[in-house]
Protein backbone atom coordinates (compact mmCIF):
# COMPACT_ATOMS: atom_id res chain seq x y z
CA UNK A 1 0.00 0.00 0.00
CA UNK A 2 2.75 2.42 0.91
CA UNK A 3 5.42 3.22 -1.62
CA UNK A 4 8.87 2.59 -0.21
CA UNK A 5 11.23 5.51 -0.55
CA UNK A 6 14.64 5.09 -2.07
CA UNK A 7 16.71 6.71 0.65
CA UNK A 8 16.22 3.69 2.89
CA UNK A 9 19.79 2.49 2.72
CA UNK A 10 21.43 5.86 3.37
CA UNK A 11 19.24 6.58 6.35
CA UNK A 12 19.99 3.32 8.10
CA UNK A 13 23.68 3.86 7.50
CA UNK A 14 23.54 7.26 9.21
CA UNK A 15 22.05 5.71 12.30
CA UNK A 16 24.70 3.05 12.59
CA UNK A 17 27.55 5.55 12.87
CA UNK A 18 26.00 7.52 15.69
CA UNK A 19 28.57 6.39 18.23
CA UNK A 20 31.37 8.80 19.21
CA UNK A 21 32.52 9.73 22.69
CA UNK A 22 29.52 8.62 24.68
CA UNK A 23 28.81 9.97 28.13
CA UNK A 24 25.53 8.15 28.65
CA UNK A 25 23.13 6.41 26.35
CA UNK A 26 20.23 8.46 25.16
CA UNK A 27 17.05 6.68 24.16
CA UNK A 28 15.09 8.51 21.50
CA UNK A 29 11.42 7.67 21.18
CA UNK A 30 9.83 7.77 17.76
CA UNK A 31 6.21 7.02 16.94
CA UNK A 32 5.70 3.33 16.15
CA UNK A 33 3.35 4.24 13.31
CA UNK A 34 4.82 5.02 9.89
CA UNK A 35 4.80 8.75 9.13
CA UNK A 36 6.53 9.12 5.78
CA UNK A 37 8.73 10.79 4.75
CA UNK A 38 9.75 11.49 8.37
CA UNK A 39 9.81 7.95 9.67
CA UNK A 40 8.83 4.66 8.13
CA UNK A 41 9.90 1.06 8.36
CA UNK A 42 11.93 -0.61 5.64
CA UNK A 43 11.38 -4.20 4.57
CA UNK A 44 14.13 -5.41 6.91
CA UNK A 45 12.47 -3.80 9.93
CA UNK A 46 14.82 -0.85 10.45
CA UNK A 47 13.56 2.73 10.52
CA UNK A 48 14.31 5.32 7.92
CA UNK A 49 13.23 8.80 6.91
CA UNK A 50 14.12 12.47 7.31
CA UNK A 51 13.53 12.55 11.04
CA UNK A 52 15.43 9.30 11.61
CA UNK A 53 18.43 10.69 9.74
CA UNK A 54 18.09 13.91 11.71
CA UNK A 55 18.22 11.91 14.95
CA UNK A 56 21.47 10.36 13.72
CA UNK A 57 22.94 13.77 12.87
CA UNK A 58 21.86 15.36 16.17
CA UNK A 59 23.26 12.49 18.23
CA UNK A 60 26.53 12.81 16.38
CA UNK A 61 26.58 16.55 17.07
CA UNK A 62 25.83 15.89 20.75
CA UNK A 63 28.45 13.13 20.84
CA UNK A 64 25.99 10.73 22.38
CA UNK A 65 25.16 7.10 21.71
CA UNK A 66 21.53 6.96 20.78
CA UNK A 67 19.09 4.10 20.67
CA UNK A 68 15.84 4.45 18.81
CA UNK A 69 12.72 3.14 20.52
CA UNK A 70 9.44 2.99 18.57
CA UNK A 71 6.53 3.79 20.93
CA UNK A 72 2.82 3.93 20.12
CA UNK A 73 1.97 7.60 19.56
CA UNK A 74 -0.69 7.76 22.26
CA UNK A 75 1.74 6.47 24.88
CA UNK A 76 4.79 8.47 23.90
CA UNK A 77 4.55 11.24 26.52
CA UNK A 78 3.86 8.75 29.32
CA UNK A 79 6.91 6.78 28.11
CA UNK A 80 9.03 9.93 28.43
CA UNK A 81 7.68 10.68 31.90
CA UNK A 82 8.36 7.13 33.09
CA UNK A 83 11.93 7.33 31.71
CA UNK A 84 11.51 4.58 29.18
CA UNK A 85 12.82 7.14 26.70
CA UNK A 86 14.78 10.36 27.15
CA UNK A 87 13.79 12.33 24.07
CA UNK A 88 10.71 12.37 21.84
CA UNK A 89 11.48 13.04 18.19
CA UNK A 90 8.24 12.10 16.52
CA UNK A 91 7.20 15.24 14.62
CA UNK A 92 5.64 16.51 17.84
CA UNK A 93 4.54 20.13 17.66
CA UNK A 94 5.42 22.45 20.53
CA UNK A 95 2.15 23.42 22.22
CA UNK A 96 1.08 25.20 25.40
CA UNK A 97 -0.77 22.10 26.55
CA UNK A 98 2.24 19.82 26.09
CA UNK A 99 4.57 22.39 27.70
CA UNK A 100 2.63 21.92 30.93
CA UNK A 101 3.92 18.35 31.09
CA UNK A 102 7.18 18.27 29.15
CA UNK A 103 9.85 20.59 27.79
CA UNK A 104 10.83 21.11 24.18
CA UNK A 105 14.08 21.94 22.39
CA UNK A 106 14.07 24.73 19.82
CA UNK A 107 12.08 23.79 16.74
CA UNK A 108 13.82 21.57 14.21
CA UNK A 109 11.20 21.96 11.53
CA UNK A 110 7.86 23.58 10.82
CA UNK A 111 5.43 22.70 8.08
CA UNK A 112 1.89 23.95 7.50
CA UNK A 113 -1.20 21.87 8.13
CA UNK A 114 -3.43 21.26 5.14
CA UNK A 115 -6.91 20.15 4.24
CA UNK A 116 -6.91 17.29 1.72
CA UNK A 117 -9.98 16.25 -0.23
CA UNK A 118 -11.17 14.74 -3.50
CA UNK A 119 -10.32 16.72 -6.65
CA UNK A 120 -13.93 16.33 -7.73
CA UNK A 121 -15.27 18.00 -4.60
CA UNK A 122 -15.58 21.71 -3.93
CA UNK A 123 -14.07 22.77 -0.64
CA UNK A 124 -11.76 25.35 0.88
CA UNK A 125 -10.33 26.00 4.32
CA UNK A 126 -13.45 28.03 5.03
CA UNK A 127 -15.60 26.18 7.61
CA UNK A 128 -18.77 26.97 5.64
CA UNK A 129 -17.49 25.01 2.65
CA UNK A 130 -17.30 21.89 4.83
CA UNK A 131 -20.94 22.08 5.84
CA UNK A 132 -22.29 18.55 6.27
CA UNK A 133 -19.04 16.95 5.16
CA UNK A 134 -17.10 14.30 7.07
CA UNK A 135 -13.62 15.37 8.13
CA UNK A 136 -11.06 12.89 9.48
CA UNK A 137 -8.10 13.70 11.70
CA UNK A 138 -5.60 11.86 13.88
CA UNK A 139 -6.52 11.87 17.55
CA UNK A 140 -4.69 14.16 20.01
CA UNK A 141 -2.68 16.07 17.42
CA UNK A 142 -2.59 19.82 16.85
CA UNK A 143 -4.54 19.08 13.69
CA UNK A 144 -7.32 17.57 15.82
CA UNK A 145 -7.29 20.75 17.92
CA UNK A 146 -7.61 22.84 14.78
CA UNK A 147 -10.50 20.75 13.49
CA UNK A 148 -12.23 21.00 16.88
CA UNK A 149 -11.81 24.76 16.96
CA UNK A 150 -12.68 25.61 13.35
CA UNK A 151 -14.59 22.80 11.66
CA UNK A 152 -16.52 21.05 14.44
CA UNK A 153 -19.54 23.35 14.08
CA UNK A 154 -20.11 22.75 10.39
CA UNK A 155 -18.51 19.37 9.62
CA UNK A 156 -18.89 15.87 11.04
CA UNK A 157 -15.55 15.11 12.69
CA UNK A 158 -14.14 11.57 12.89
CA UNK A 159 -10.98 10.86 14.84
CA UNK A 160 -8.53 8.10 13.99
CA UNK A 161 -5.68 6.50 15.87
CA UNK A 162 -3.19 6.72 13.02
CA UNK A 163 -2.52 8.80 9.93
CA UNK A 164 -2.80 5.72 7.68
CA UNK A 165 -6.25 4.90 8.98
CA UNK A 166 -7.82 8.22 8.06
CA UNK A 167 -6.23 8.03 4.63
CA UNK A 168 -7.72 4.56 4.16
CA UNK A 169 -11.16 5.87 5.08
CA UNK A 170 -10.67 8.86 2.78
CA UNK A 171 -9.98 6.47 -0.11
CA UNK A 172 -12.92 4.30 0.96
CA UNK A 173 -15.04 7.43 0.75
CA UNK A 174 -16.28 7.25 4.33
CA UNK A 175 -14.85 10.71 4.96
CA UNK A 176 -14.70 13.60 2.51
CA UNK A 177 -11.59 15.34 3.74
CA UNK A 178 -8.68 14.93 6.13
CA UNK A 179 -6.58 17.46 8.01
CA UNK A 180 -2.92 16.75 8.63
CA UNK A 181 0.62 17.81 7.98
CA UNK A 182 1.37 18.95 4.42
CA UNK A 183 4.54 16.90 4.19
CA UNK A 184 3.12 13.75 5.64
CA UNK A 185 0.58 13.87 2.80
CA UNK A 186 3.24 14.13 0.07
CA UNK A 187 3.75 10.38 -0.33
CA UNK A 188 0.05 9.62 -0.05
CA UNK A 189 -0.87 12.13 -2.75
CA UNK A 190 1.79 10.68 -5.06
CA UNK A 191 0.53 7.10 -4.60
CA UNK A 192 -2.11 5.48 -6.81
CA UNK A 193 -4.67 5.47 -4.04
CA UNK A 194 -4.05 9.15 -3.34
CA UNK A 195 -4.15 10.30 -6.96
CA UNK A 196 -7.80 11.47 -6.92
CA UNK A 197 -7.06 13.76 -3.96
CA UNK A 198 -5.37 17.13 -3.63
CA UNK A 199 -4.47 19.82 -1.11
CA UNK A 200 -7.48 22.09 -0.79
CA UNK A 201 -6.14 24.67 1.64
CA UNK A 202 -3.30 25.54 3.99
CA UNK A 203 -4.51 25.97 7.54
CA UNK A 204 -2.90 28.54 9.80
CA UNK A 205 -3.50 29.26 13.45
CA UNK A 206 -0.40 30.02 15.48
CA UNK A 207 -2.34 29.73 18.72
CA UNK A 208 -2.98 26.08 17.88
CA UNK A 209 -0.02 24.99 15.79
CA UNK A 210 2.61 26.86 17.80
CA UNK A 211 6.16 27.56 16.71
CA UNK A 212 6.81 24.18 15.09
CA UNK A 213 8.20 20.77 15.89
CA UNK A 214 10.71 20.29 18.69
CA UNK A 215 12.36 17.43 20.55
CA UNK A 216 10.38 16.63 23.71
CA UNK A 217 12.28 16.13 26.94
CA UNK A 218 11.59 15.87 30.66
CA UNK A 219 11.52 19.23 32.44
CA UNK A 220 14.35 18.30 34.83
CA UNK A 221 16.67 17.15 32.03
CA UNK A 222 18.26 20.59 31.59
CA UNK A 223 21.69 19.29 30.51
CA UNK A 224 20.22 17.31 27.67
CA UNK A 225 18.03 20.25 26.76
CA UNK A 226 21.04 22.56 26.36
CA UNK A 227 22.96 19.91 24.41
CA UNK A 228 20.04 19.35 22.07
CA UNK A 229 19.64 23.05 21.30
CA UNK A 230 23.39 23.35 20.68
CA UNK A 231 23.26 20.32 18.38
CA UNK A 232 20.36 21.77 16.37
CA UNK A 233 22.29 25.02 15.98
CA UNK A 234 25.43 23.13 14.99
CA UNK A 235 23.86 21.02 12.23
CA UNK A 236 21.99 24.09 10.97
CA UNK A 237 25.29 25.98 10.74
CA UNK A 238 27.59 23.30 9.31
CA UNK A 239 25.32 22.28 6.44
CA UNK A 240 24.37 18.81 7.74
CA UNK A 241 20.75 19.87 8.15
CA UNK A 242 20.53 21.16 4.59
CA UNK A 243 22.32 18.11 3.16
CA UNK A 244 19.83 15.72 4.74
CA UNK A 245 16.77 17.86 3.94
CA UNK A 246 17.70 18.28 0.28
CA UNK A 247 17.41 14.54 -0.17
CA UNK A 248 13.76 14.64 0.89
CA UNK A 249 12.30 18.05 0.17
CA UNK A 250 12.64 20.64 -2.53
CA UNK A 251 11.98 23.54 -0.18
CA UNK A 252 13.14 24.71 3.23
CA UNK A 253 11.53 22.47 5.78
CA UNK A 254 12.91 24.53 8.65
CA UNK A 255 10.22 27.09 7.91
CA UNK A 256 10.25 30.85 8.36
CA UNK B 1 -4.61 10.81 41.92
CA UNK B 2 -6.23 13.71 40.16
CA UNK B 3 -9.82 13.69 39.00
CA UNK B 4 -10.24 17.29 37.86
CA UNK B 5 -10.91 16.05 34.28
CA UNK B 6 -13.88 13.89 35.23
CA UNK B 7 -16.67 16.54 35.17
CA UNK B 8 -15.43 17.85 31.82
CA UNK B 9 -15.46 14.42 30.18
CA UNK B 10 -18.51 12.99 31.98
CA UNK B 11 -20.94 13.69 29.10
CA UNK B 12 -18.61 11.95 26.66
CA UNK B 13 -18.32 8.97 28.99
CA UNK B 14 -22.11 8.77 29.07
CA UNK B 15 -22.20 8.77 25.27
CA UNK B 16 -19.48 6.12 25.27
CA UNK B 17 -21.40 4.03 27.79
CA UNK B 18 -24.52 4.19 25.61
CA UNK B 19 -22.46 3.06 22.61
CA UNK B 20 -20.95 0.17 24.59
CA UNK B 21 -24.41 -0.95 25.74
CA UNK B 22 -25.86 -0.71 22.24
CA UNK B 23 -22.92 -2.61 20.79
CA UNK B 24 -23.19 -5.34 23.42
CA UNK B 25 -26.98 -5.62 23.23
CA UNK B 26 -27.15 -5.74 19.44
CA UNK B 27 -24.25 -8.17 19.18
CA UNK B 28 -25.82 -10.56 21.67
CA UNK B 29 -29.20 -10.28 19.94
CA UNK B 30 -27.96 -10.85 16.40
CA UNK B 31 -25.22 -13.23 17.52
CA UNK B 32 -27.60 -15.52 19.43
CA UNK B 33 -30.13 -15.39 16.57
CA UNK B 34 -27.39 -16.92 14.45
CA UNK B 35 -25.88 -19.15 17.13
CA UNK B 36 -29.07 -21.15 17.70
CA UNK B 37 -29.47 -22.28 14.06
CA UNK B 38 -25.71 -22.81 13.84
CA UNK B 39 -25.74 -25.06 16.90
CA UNK B 40 -28.79 -26.91 15.65
CA UNK B 41 -27.36 -27.38 12.17
CA UNK B 42 -24.28 -29.00 13.64
CA UNK B 43 -26.37 -31.49 15.61
CA UNK B 44 -29.17 -32.43 13.20
CA UNK B 45 -28.50 -30.66 9.94
CA UNK B 46 -27.79 -32.46 6.65
CA UNK B 47 -24.06 -32.78 6.23
CA UNK B 48 -23.41 -29.77 3.94
CA UNK B 49 -25.18 -27.51 6.42
CA UNK B 50 -23.53 -29.13 9.44
CA UNK B 51 -20.15 -28.88 7.76
CA UNK B 52 -20.66 -25.19 6.85
CA UNK B 53 -21.74 -24.37 10.39
CA UNK B 54 -18.73 -26.16 11.85
CA UNK B 55 -16.35 -24.42 9.42
CA UNK B 56 -17.85 -21.04 10.36
CA UNK B 57 -17.31 -21.70 14.08
CA UNK B 58 -13.75 -22.88 13.48
CA UNK B 59 -12.82 -19.82 11.42
CA UNK B 60 -14.40 -17.35 13.83
CA UNK B 61 -12.92 -19.01 16.90
CA UNK B 62 -9.57 -19.53 15.25
CA UNK B 63 -8.83 -15.94 14.23
CA UNK B 64 -8.36 -12.84 16.40
CA UNK B 65 -11.44 -10.65 16.72
CA UNK B 66 -9.32 -7.57 16.05
CA UNK B 67 -8.34 -8.91 12.65
CA UNK B 68 -11.95 -9.83 11.83
CA UNK B 69 -12.99 -6.31 12.78
CA UNK B 70 -10.33 -4.71 10.60
CA UNK B 71 -11.04 -7.03 7.68
CA UNK B 72 -14.68 -6.06 7.83
CA UNK B 73 -14.09 -2.32 8.30
CA UNK B 74 -10.90 -1.40 6.44
CA UNK B 75 -10.92 -4.47 4.18
CA UNK B 76 -14.40 -3.85 2.81
CA UNK B 77 -13.69 -0.13 2.77
CA UNK B 78 -10.74 -0.64 0.44
CA UNK B 79 -13.11 -2.25 -2.09
CA UNK B 80 -15.56 0.70 -2.18
CA UNK B 81 -13.58 2.73 -4.75
CA UNK B 82 -14.03 -0.16 -7.21
CA UNK B 83 -17.80 -0.32 -6.83
CA UNK B 84 -19.31 2.40 -9.02
CA UNK B 85 -22.33 4.19 -7.64
CA UNK B 86 -21.93 2.86 -4.13
CA UNK B 87 -21.56 6.35 -2.73
CA UNK B 88 -24.87 7.40 -4.23
CA UNK B 89 -26.71 4.26 -3.12
CA UNK B 90 -29.39 4.12 -0.43
CA UNK B 91 -27.25 2.10 1.97
CA UNK B 92 -24.24 4.44 1.76
CA UNK B 93 -25.18 6.42 4.92
CA UNK B 94 -24.98 3.07 6.73
CA UNK B 95 -21.79 1.95 5.00
CA UNK B 96 -19.88 5.12 5.84
CA UNK B 97 -20.52 4.84 9.57
CA UNK B 98 -18.23 2.65 11.64
CA UNK B 99 -20.79 1.44 14.17
CA UNK B 100 -22.63 -1.03 11.86
CA UNK B 101 -19.31 -2.73 11.04
CA UNK B 102 -18.59 -3.14 14.73
CA UNK B 103 -22.04 -4.69 15.27
CA UNK B 104 -21.49 -7.09 12.36
CA UNK B 105 -18.03 -8.14 13.55
CA UNK B 106 -19.12 -8.64 17.16
CA UNK B 107 -22.32 -10.46 16.15
CA UNK B 108 -20.33 -12.89 14.00
CA UNK B 109 -17.97 -13.45 16.89
CA UNK B 110 -20.83 -14.17 19.29
CA UNK B 111 -22.39 -16.45 16.65
CA UNK B 112 -19.13 -18.40 16.27
CA UNK B 113 -18.48 -18.97 19.96
CA UNK B 114 -22.08 -19.46 21.03
CA UNK B 115 -22.79 -21.64 17.98
CA UNK B 116 -20.31 -24.06 19.46
CA UNK B 117 -21.82 -23.73 22.93
CA UNK B 118 -25.29 -24.34 21.49
CA UNK B 119 -24.06 -27.45 19.66
CA UNK B 120 -23.11 -28.95 23.01
CA UNK B 121 -26.31 -27.66 24.56
CA UNK B 122 -28.59 -29.30 21.98
CA UNK B 123 -26.65 -32.53 22.24
CA UNK B 124 -26.87 -32.57 26.04
CA UNK B 125 -30.67 -32.79 26.10
CA UNK B 126 -31.55 -36.45 26.83
CA UNK B 127 -32.86 -38.21 23.73
CA UNK B 128 -35.62 -39.76 25.79
CA UNK B 129 -37.22 -36.37 26.38
CA UNK B 130 -37.27 -35.64 22.66
CA UNK B 131 -38.64 -39.06 21.87
CA UNK B 132 -41.32 -38.65 24.49
CA UNK B 133 -42.31 -35.32 22.99
CA UNK B 134 -42.48 -36.84 19.54
CA UNK B 135 -44.54 -39.72 20.90
CA UNK B 136 -47.00 -37.12 22.18
CA UNK B 137 -47.54 -36.22 18.54
CA UNK B 138 -45.63 -32.93 18.48
CA UNK B 139 -44.29 -31.78 15.13
CA UNK B 140 -40.46 -31.46 14.89
CA UNK B 141 -40.75 -27.68 15.11
CA UNK B 142 -42.96 -27.89 18.16
CA UNK B 143 -40.50 -30.27 19.80
CA UNK B 144 -37.79 -27.72 19.20
CA UNK B 145 -39.81 -24.80 20.49
CA UNK B 146 -41.33 -26.52 23.52
CA UNK B 147 -38.67 -28.98 24.64
CA UNK B 148 -35.37 -28.98 22.86
CA UNK B 149 -34.46 -25.27 22.81
CA UNK B 150 -35.68 -24.41 26.35
CA UNK B 151 -33.90 -27.44 27.80
CA UNK B 152 -30.71 -26.68 25.85
CA UNK B 153 -30.69 -23.00 26.89
CA UNK B 154 -31.36 -23.97 30.49
CA UNK B 155 -28.34 -26.28 30.48
CA UNK B 156 -25.92 -23.69 29.18
CA UNK B 157 -27.35 -20.56 30.75
CA UNK B 158 -24.44 -19.98 33.16
CA UNK B 159 -21.97 -20.63 30.34
CA UNK B 160 -23.71 -18.09 28.12
CA UNK B 161 -23.63 -15.50 30.89
CA UNK B 162 -19.87 -15.96 31.11
CA UNK B 163 -19.51 -15.71 27.35
CA UNK B 164 -21.49 -12.45 27.20
CA UNK B 165 -19.22 -10.98 29.85
CA UNK B 166 -16.28 -11.86 27.63
CA UNK B 167 -18.04 -10.13 24.74
CA UNK B 168 -18.53 -7.03 26.89
CA UNK B 169 -14.81 -6.96 27.59
CA UNK B 170 -14.00 -7.31 23.89
CA UNK B 171 -16.00 -4.19 22.97
CA UNK B 172 -13.04 -1.80 23.49
CA UNK B 173 -11.68 -3.16 20.20
CA UNK B 174 -14.35 -1.06 18.48
CA UNK B 175 -12.35 2.04 19.40
CA UNK B 176 -9.80 1.02 16.77
CA UNK B 177 -12.36 1.68 14.03
CA UNK B 178 -13.41 5.12 15.32
CA UNK B 179 -16.30 3.89 17.48
CA UNK B 180 -15.44 5.82 20.62
CA UNK B 181 -17.16 3.77 23.29
CA UNK B 182 -16.19 3.80 26.98
CA UNK B 183 -12.59 2.72 26.42
CA UNK B 184 -12.22 5.07 23.44
CA UNK B 185 -13.34 8.03 25.53
CA UNK B 186 -10.88 6.91 28.22
CA UNK B 187 -8.04 6.97 25.74
CA UNK B 188 -9.03 10.43 24.53
CA UNK B 189 -8.80 11.60 28.14
CA UNK B 190 -5.41 9.94 28.42
CA UNK B 191 -4.12 11.65 25.33
CA UNK B 192 -5.51 15.06 26.13
CA UNK B 193 -4.61 15.25 29.81
CA UNK B 194 -1.51 13.01 29.84
CA UNK B 195 -2.88 11.30 32.94
CA UNK B 196 -2.51 7.56 32.73
CA UNK B 197 -3.81 5.79 35.82
CA UNK B 198 -6.95 7.72 36.59
CA UNK B 199 -8.69 7.37 33.20
CA UNK B 200 -7.68 3.71 32.92
CA UNK B 201 -8.88 2.97 36.45
CA UNK B 202 -12.11 4.81 35.79
CA UNK B 203 -12.71 2.84 32.59
CA UNK B 204 -11.88 -0.41 34.39
CA UNK B 205 -14.39 0.51 37.09
CA UNK B 206 -17.13 1.10 34.48
CA UNK B 207 -16.54 -2.35 32.98
CA UNK B 208 -16.54 -3.89 36.44
CA UNK B 209 -19.92 -2.29 37.17
CA UNK B 210 -21.32 -3.42 33.82
CA UNK B 211 -20.12 -6.97 34.48
CA UNK B 212 -21.73 -6.83 37.90
CA UNK B 213 -25.04 -5.74 36.37
CA UNK B 214 -24.84 -8.51 33.77
CA UNK B 215 -24.12 -11.13 36.43
CA UNK B 216 -27.06 -10.00 38.56
CA UNK B 217 -29.40 -9.85 35.56
CA UNK B 218 -28.49 -13.35 34.46
CA UNK B 219 -28.80 -14.72 37.96
CA UNK B 220 -32.32 -13.27 38.24
CA UNK B 221 -33.26 -14.77 34.89
CA UNK B 222 -31.78 -18.10 35.90
CA UNK B 223 -33.80 -18.11 39.08
CA UNK B 224 -37.00 -17.50 37.16
CA UNK B 225 -36.38 -20.56 35.03
CA UNK B 226 -38.35 -23.62 36.10
CA UNK B 227 -35.89 -26.01 37.71
CA UNK B 228 -36.36 -29.73 37.53
CA UNK B 229 -35.01 -31.54 40.52
CA UNK B 230 -33.12 -34.56 39.29
User: How close A187 comes to chain B (CA, Å)?
Assistant: 18
Residue B192 sits at the chain A interface (C-beta within 8 Å)? yes
Which of B188 and A116 is assigned the larger pLDDT? Answer: A116
Tell me, yes or no, whether A51 lies in a domain.
Answer: yes
In a domain, A254, yes or no: no
For residues A204 and A215, state if they share a domain: no
Residue A17 pLDDT: 43
- Whether residues A159 and B78 touch (CB distance < 8 A) is answered with no
In a domain, residue A169? The reply is: yes
The CA–CA distances, whole Å, from B34 to A61, A157, B27, B113 equal 64, 34, 10, 11
From the list A77, A169, A175, the residue facing B194 with the nearest CB is A77
Q: Are residues A191 and A228 in the same domain?
A: no
pLDDT digits (tens, 9 = 90+) for B50-66: 999 999 999 999 999 99
The CATH code of the domain that includes A13 is 3.40.190.10
Determine the pLDDT at residue A219.
Answer: 95
Give the CA count within 13 Å in the CB-facing half-sphere of A190.
12
For position A2, what pLDDT does the model report?
39
- A106 with A217, same domain? yes
**Is A172 close to B74, i.e. CB distance below 8 A?**
yes
**pLDDT score at A32:** 93
- The answer to the question of residue A3 being in a domain is no
Rounded CA separation A114/A143 (Å): 9
Query: Judging by DSSP bridges, how do beta strands A134-138 and A177-181 pair with one another?
Result: parallel
B46 CB neighbour count, 10 Å cutoff: 8
Residues 152-181 of B with CB under 8 A from A: 175-176, 178, 180
Domains of chain B and CATH, by start: 6-79+90-224 (1.10.3720.10)
Q: Is residue A23 part of a domain?
A: yes
pLDDT in tens, chain A (256 residues): 333 444 444 444 444 444 434 445 899 999 999 988 899 999 998 999 999 999 999 999 999 999 999 999 989 999 999 999 999 999 998 988 899 999 999 999 988 889 999 999 999 989 999 999 999 999 888 899 999 999 999 999 999 988 999 999 999 999 999 999 888 898 899 899 999 999 999 888 878 888 889 999 999 999 999 999 999 999 999 999 999 999 998 777 887 5
Residue A216, phi then psi, degrees to nearest 5: -85, 135
> Between A81, A160, A172, which is nearest B78 by CB?
A172
Question: Chain B partners of A174 at a C-beta cutoff of 8 Å?
Answer: 77, 80, 95-98
Task: Specify the pLDDT at position A24.
Answer: 58
pLDDT value at B195 more than 80: yes
Q: What's the pLDDT at A16?
A: 46
Separation between Cα atoms, residue B140 and residue B5, nearest integer Å = 59
Cβ pairs bridging A and B (under 8 Å) = 54
- Report the pLDDT averaged over residues B193-215: 94
Dihedral sign for Cα B102, B105, B109, B115, please: positive
**pLDDT exceeds cutoff 70 at B20:** yes
Which one of A78, A97, A139 has the shortest CB-CB distance to B196? A78
Same domain (yes/no): A142, A183? yes
Q: Please answer whether residues B80 and B95 qualify as being in contact, where contact means their C-beta atoms are separated by less than 8 angstroms.
A: yes
Inter-chain touch A174–B87, beta carbons under 8 Å = no
B120 pLDDT band, cuts 50/70/90, is very high
Among all residues of chain B, which has the CA nearest to that of A175? B96
- Residue A43 belongs to some domain of the structure: yes
Per-residue pLDDT, B226: 74
Question: CA B32 → CA A62, B106, B127, B172, distances in Å?
Answer: 62, 11, 24, 20
pTM, rounded to two decimals? 0.74
Give dist(CA B193, CA B7) in Å, integer: 13
3-state secondary structure of A138: strand
Which tens digits make up the pLDDT trace of A80-130?
999 999 999 999 989 888 999 999 999 999 888 899 999 999 999 899 999
Continuous segment of H or E residues that includes residue B92: helix B92-96
- Give the integer Cα–Cα distance in Å for A90 and A104: 12
Residues A240 and A147 in one domain: no
User: Residue B142: what pLDDT?
Assistant: 94
Q: How far is CA A5 from CA A49, A254, B192, in A?
A: 8, 21, 33
Give me the number of domains chain A comprises: 2
B146 pLDDT exceeds 50? yes
Mean pLDDT of B29-49: 95
Same domain, A152 and A191: yes
| Same domain, yes or no: A54 and A88 | yes
Residues A101 and A13 in one domain: yes
Which comes out higher in pLDDT, residue B83 or A230? Answer: A230
DSSP state of A92: P
Domain enclosing residue A183, as ranges: 113-208
Q: In this predicted structure, what is the pLDDT of residue B227?
A: 67
Cross-strand bridge partners of residue A69? A29
One domain for residues A28 and A101: yes
Pairwise CB contact (< 8 Å): B78 & A81: no
Residues A119, A200, single domain; the answer is yes
Residue A101 lies in a domain: yes
Q: What gap in Å lies between CA A255 and CA A237, rounded to an integer?
A: 15
Same domain, A216 and A204: no
A1 inside domain: no
Do residues A121 and A239 share a domain? no
pLDDT of residue A50: 95
Q: Which residues of B touch A193 (CB under 8 A)?
A: 81
Within 13 A of B208's CA, how many CA atoms are on the CB side? Answer: 6
Q: How far apart are CA A71 and CA B227, in angstroms?
A: 54
Closest Cα in chain A, distance from residue B176 (Å)? 7
Taking residue B85's Cβ as centre, other Cβ atoms within 10 Å add up to 7
Amino acid sequence: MKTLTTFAATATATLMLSTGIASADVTIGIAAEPYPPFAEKTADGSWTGWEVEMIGALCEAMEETCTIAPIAWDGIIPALMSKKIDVIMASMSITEERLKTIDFSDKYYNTPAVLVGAKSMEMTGDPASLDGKYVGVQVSTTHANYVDAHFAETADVKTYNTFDEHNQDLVAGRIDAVVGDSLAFQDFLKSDAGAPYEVKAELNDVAIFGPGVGAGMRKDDTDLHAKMNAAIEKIRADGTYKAISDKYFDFDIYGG
Amino acid sequence: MEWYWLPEYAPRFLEGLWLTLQLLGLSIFFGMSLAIPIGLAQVTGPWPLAWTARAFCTVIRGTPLLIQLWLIYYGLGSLFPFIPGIRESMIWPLLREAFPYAVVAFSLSVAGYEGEVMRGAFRSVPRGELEAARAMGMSPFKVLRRIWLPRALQNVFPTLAGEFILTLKATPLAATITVFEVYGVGSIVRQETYRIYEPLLFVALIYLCLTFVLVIAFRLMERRMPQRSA
